[in-house]
Amino acid sequence: MSQLFVIGLSHRTAPVEIREALAQGVDDALRLRQLRAAAALCGEAMLISTCNRVELYGALPRLRAAEREALARLEQLSALLVEPQPAAGKHLYQLAGEEALRHLFRVTSSLDSMVVGEPQILGQVKSAYRTASSAGTIGTVLNAAVPRAFAVAKRVRTETAIGQSAASVASVAVELAQQVFGELRGQPVLLVGAGKMAELCARHLREAGATDFLIVNRTLQRASDLAGRLGGSAHELSELEPLLGRAAVAICSTGAQQPLLRAELVARVMKARRGRWLLLIDIAVPRDIEPQVAKLDNVYLYDIDALSAVVSGNLNDRQRAAATAEAIVKEELQRTVNRSRSADVVPVIQALRERAQGIAQAEVAKVLPRLSGLDERERQLISGLADAVVNKLLHGPLTALKQGAAEPGGGAGLAEAIRRLWALPLPAAPAPAAPEKDSEKEGENSSEDL
């Protein structure tokens, strides 16, 4: 009898330097080697590796007798996990059984993420499960636990609003653009300044469908570099006014000390645009756009404070939704644990019945040929008598086993004892389930919590 365990570190236990060090120089080949080495140690393994977490899931013997062996294996696995950065060892946590399962449910449901409710983690866990399946390191325990975690995550996403509202400035910018224009395909996006934040916003807009990027910067070379990365066109700052006339969304992030977009300029542009809507996102400090611009018709101006206020409100909403999500995780955990306890004893009950009935029927088969003159009804009576004796004898132990299954640990211990006393065979491990394809928006390649 095995149980789920997890060894790992995350943003909750390790500072960013440690996580960075663990991520640097780690490639897919090393992760695959770690995965196979872990599977060799504990029979099955799955490795989740994101910028905010590295976790190894596997199965270890549940029995008290095997505790020392399990601890030794955990030590080896821990060393394996922090191989690229041994100093990270002190930040590791180890969980087993129900606690490990609860942790897996919370991680997959994005309750343990740095930004609660972020959608990437589910894709990353699915990817890890697929990799482990391909490597042949998924066994009975992980095959039961991980798909269950996917189902819990799906339920959390469906029944709560945990991932519905934008949780970063960049995603708020996308939501705003969609509120004004709906479809972003074909809507030109003007980037004034080629800073990192503007680029992040632009990347989010591109994911949402925007394709036409106009980049203006004091240094044309930087604008060209960014245009190359985004697939847009670079322009001189002197072209700002005509470009603003073309753009649907403008994101300003320059280091200018005076506003670049004054109310008169925007008013002039709006006249030329014949009232077409203009969304202005000002993430620069000091601001690049005069606040009076917000008063113009069909112009929507959001500065960094306004965006942050929206993000903060959304994060509060997520925290509220997280409370409901935790209740769902608790309920699902209880259900899974109960099912698992019953599942632990069912194969033993079946094997015990088969063994006892097999013995009884074998004895009946030996005796019947020696009894001459019995008709069919009498033969059936003798056969039935043997079965009845077996059932009566097994009633007490089986009832105790079923009752024990409802108590934490009780069922597994009794089942193991019966299995040993009767020399029952171990149940065969089922084949791993193929993980479902991601049709959801969670990105496997994007990192968790961004």
Partner 1 sequence: MPPLFPLTLAFYAVACTLCFVAVAQPQLFWPRRLAMPLLGCGLISQGADIAWLCLHGQHPGTSAREALFFAAYLMLIALPLRTYRQPLPLLGALLLPVAMVIDILVRVLPSGHAVTEPGAAAGGHLSRLAMLHIFSATLGIALFGIAAAASVAYMMNERRLKLRRLPRSGGAQPGPSLETLDSWNQQGIVFGLLAFTAALVSGTYWMLEMPLPASWLHGGSHELGLSLQIRYLLSQPRYMLAVITWLLFAGLLVGRSVYGLRGRWAAQVTLVGFWTSLGVLVVYLFRDLAGG
Which residues from 313-372 bind partner 1, rule CB under 8 A?
313-314, 317, 321
Q: Which of 15, 182, 228, 231 binds partner 1 (CB under 8 A)?
A: 182
Compose the 155-174 pattern: x for residues touching partner 1 by CB under 8 A, - for all others: -----xx--xxx-----x--
Six-digit token string for 276: 């077409």
Which residues, other chains included, contact 297 with Cβ-Cβ below 8 Å and sequence gap of 6+?
270, 275
Residues that bind partner 1 (rule: CB under 8 A) add up to a total of 30
Q: At its nearest, how many Å lie between partner 1 and the CB of residue 177?
A: 9
CA distance 283 to 202: 12
Choice from 263, 294, 346, 398 touching partner 1 (CB under 8 A): 294
Which residue, 142 or 322, is less far from partner 1 as judged by CB? 322
Q: DSSP character for 166?
A: -
Residue 385: CB atoms within 10 Å: 12
Answer yes or no whether residue 306 interacts with partner 1 by CB under 8 A.
yes
Question: Assign residue 345 a region: left if phi > 0, alpha if psi is -120 to 50, beta otherwise?
Answer: alpha
440 makes contact with partner 1 (CB under 8 A): no
To 5 degrees, how large is the angle CA 410–CA 415–CA 421?
130
Has 201 been annotated as catalytic?
Answer: no
Interface with partner 1, residue 312, by CB under 8 A: no
Among 176, 227, 249, 349, binds partner 1 (CB under 8 A): 176
Omega cis (within 30) before 430: no
Nearer to partner 1, 9 or 184 (CB): 184
- Residue 199 CB burial class (10 angstroms; 0-12, 13-18, ≥19): buried
Residue 16's CB is within 10 A of a number of other CB atoms, namely 10
Please report whether residue 275 would count as binding partner 1 according to CB under 8 A.
yes
Q: How many CA atoms are closer than 13 Å to the CA of 105, on its beta-carbon side?
A: 27
**Is residue 440 classed as helix, strand or coil in its secondary structure?**
coil
* Phi–psi pair at 48, nearest 5 degrees: -105, 125
Pick the binder of partner 1 from 130, 204, 235, 273 (CB under 8 A): 273
The piece of 92-100, 210-218, 274-282, 426-434 that touches partner 1 (CB under 8 A) is: 274-282
Report the residue from 99, 175, 438, 444 that binds partner 1 according to the rule CB under 8 A.
175
- Residue 444 binds partner 1 (CB under 8 A): no
Contact positions vs partner 1 (CB under 8 A): 160-161, 164-166, 172, 175-176, 178-182, 273-277, 294, 297-298, 300, 302, 306, 309-310, 313-314, 317, 321
Q: Which residues are catalytic?
A: 51
